[in-house]
Structure 1
Amino acid sequence: MTKLKLGPIIDDKPVKVTIELPAQLHRDLVAYAAALGREQGQTIGDPTKLIVPMLERFIATDRGSARAHRDSGQHAPRAAAHGG
């Protein structure tokens, strides 16, 4: 089995953001949540909870983002406690 990039999902107080996802992206998110749940031995009841750790992981591992932060004098982002 392929090791997925996300780890366990940590419950934290969110900031509400409303977005629309293309139907295919939502289906992919649901499928990813099911695979992650099997891998982690947990049930992910709401696949949209994956969006935040996915974005955190993407930003933390994106070299261009790290370079932009370094060039602007800001600290580079790092993955939160989501297994990143």
Structure 2
Amino acid sequence: MTRLKLADLADEKPVRLTLEISARLHRDLTAYALAVNGGDPKGAPTVERLIPPMLERFITTDRGFSKARKSIQTG
């Protein structure tokens, strides 16, 4: 099975956010949700549940952002 970057979908208190995404991105996120669940649509996470951990993963692995954040905090 393919190892995906997103594995842990921890439950946390949510903050409501409304955004619009393209239909293509929605299809890709739906396909990703199926992949996270091993291809089984039953029990696959919703797109809404996928987006927050994907963004968190993106931010924590962005070296440029990490450097900028450190320079802002120490500056």
Same structural fold, with TM-score higher than 0.5 when normalized by the shorter chain: yes
Matches within 5 A, 1:3-82: 3-38=3-38, 43-73=43-73
Residue 45 of structure 1 and its aligned partner are, at CA, apart by 4.0
Q: TM-score, normalised by structure 1?
A: 0.77
Alpha-carbon distance in structure 1 between the residues aligned to 2:15 and 2:64? 26
CA distance in 1, matches of 2:56, 2:9: 12
Letter of the 1:44 counterpart: A
Larger RCO: Structure 1 or Structure 2 (Cα < 8 Å, ≥ 6 residues apart)? Answer: 1
Q: Are 2:37 and 2:45, in contact at CA under 8 Å, matched by a contact in 1? A: no
Q: Which runs of 5+ in 1 are unaligned?
A: 75-84
Aligned residues: 72
Q: 1:29·1:48 contact (CA, 8 Å) conserved in 2?
A: no
User: Is 2:6 aligned against 1:2?
Assistant: no
* Identical-pair percentage: 49
Cα-Cα RMSD: 1.8
Rg larger in 1 or in 2?
2
The TM-score normalised by the length of structure 2 is 0.85
Q: The residue matched to 2:37 in structure 1 has which SS?
A: helix
Q: Which runs of 5+ in 2 are unaligned?
A: none
SS of corresponding position for 1:73: helix
